[in-house]
A = this chain, B = another copy of it.
Amino acid sequence: MSATNQKQGTVITLQHKSEILENNPLGDKFIRDLIVYLPPDYDEEKFYPSVYVLTGFTGRGKMMLNDSAFTPNFAERMDNLINQGKIKPMIAVLPDCFTHYGGSQYINSTATGNYEDYLVKEIVPFVDETFQTIKDKNSRAVMGKSSGGYGALIMALRHADLFGLACSTSGDAYFEHCYLQDIPKAFRAIKGDPSKLIEKFWNEDAKKGKDDFSGLNMIGMSSCYSPKNAEFDLPFDLETGEIRADVWEKWLAHDPVRLVEKSVESLKSLKLLYIDAGTKDEFALDLGARIFCKKLRDFDIPHIHEEFDDGHFNISYRQNRSLELISQYFESV
């Protein structure tokens, strides 16, 4: 309820029909809301840099507009930063890559759909056609937290031709620390039958316990990292909880820490690569960030690494830091 004598941007919700997501294996919607934030005084004669903001697991773009008592939502945050002169006017895009299993990790999977393609081949071109964006990688950034931070790293690793700036906050990395700890909990929540747990989440009346979220997370990640046609393999034995080495190998092939060496030139081409995480991160993603940045240093890849004194949750205020860096590193217009 702060005084609001400031100029407000415009939030537009478009219905985008995806060809790539049509016939996705989960039967998830292929016509989706695409949220676009246009800065105050948006001028159809001008061109603006753009930033794509990716949500974490179980999130989608729309949620960043949720109202909260003391915390600005994403649009209010943009208004604040622009009005205070902390960032340049820019267009922000909040895509929806949610799935029936809770998320897509922004990658292609035979079990969920081709969300990486969806983002880079459909959403980016569509936004560029529809809005006054500067159509240049050095004026196009991607950022996100948690699974959204993972998505930002994937864009940096594989689509540096599209996104010249990438910021990952608490992004999934070093899977031994961020995922293995969930296996025992997932084992208990899944009780031999992943489909029952998924049903439970889609049944509003069913009470969800703490382990259930670990179970959901494990299923969601499996559907992205170890799909098997339209199904998926869990990385552990349903009878004993023993890690399945063959499946785990597939997971590790998606670990940003392991992907650096394959994308050295791409990563070096970035104008900005920013990595941060909280030193109390419940999924040890601060260690993931340290290990990822160690690999970057090994290959002389320029980057900025920061830590902050907080955990994994309720840290949307960290978006300010990413947005300010992005604004600073954007090509001057």
Contact = CB atoms under 8 A, between A and B. Distances in A.
A70 B287 contact: no
Contacts of A63: 66-69
A110 interface: no
Given A177-B183, A180-B176, A207-B310, A58 B69 contact: yes
A184 interface: yes
A201 B2 CA distance: 12
A297 to B, nearest CB: 10
A333 interface: no
- How many A residues touch the partner, as a band? 35 or more
A180 B317 CA distance: 31
A176 B243 contact: yes
Interface string A201-216: 1101101000000000
Interface string A47-70: 000000000001110110111111
Interface string A281-308: 0001001001100100000000000000
A174 interface: yes
Contacts of A2: 202
Contacts of A58: 69-70
Given A1-B28, A180-B176, A291 B242 contact: yes
A100 interface: yes
Contacts of A204: 70-72, 317
Number of copies of chain A assembled together: 4
A121 interface: no
Interface core residue of A60, A68, A240 (most chain B CB under 10 Å):
A240
A225 interface: no
A239 interface: yes
Nearest to A314: B208
B100 A1 contact: yes
Contact of A279 (B1, B29, B188, B284): B188
Interface in A223-279: 239-243, 279
A181 B282 CA distance: 11
Interface in A93-118: 98-100, 102
Interface of A: 1-2, 28-29, 58-60, 62-63, 65-72, 98-100, 102, 174, 176-177, 180-181, 183-184, 187-188, 201-202, 204-205, 207, 239-243, 279-280, 284, 287, 290-291, 294, 309-310, 317
The 3 closest A-B CB pairs, nearest first, are: A241-B287, A184-B284, A66-B66
12 contacts: A58-B69, A58-B70, A60-B69, A71-B204, A177-B180, A177-B241, A180-B180, A183-B284, A184-B284, A241-B284, A242-B287, A242-B290
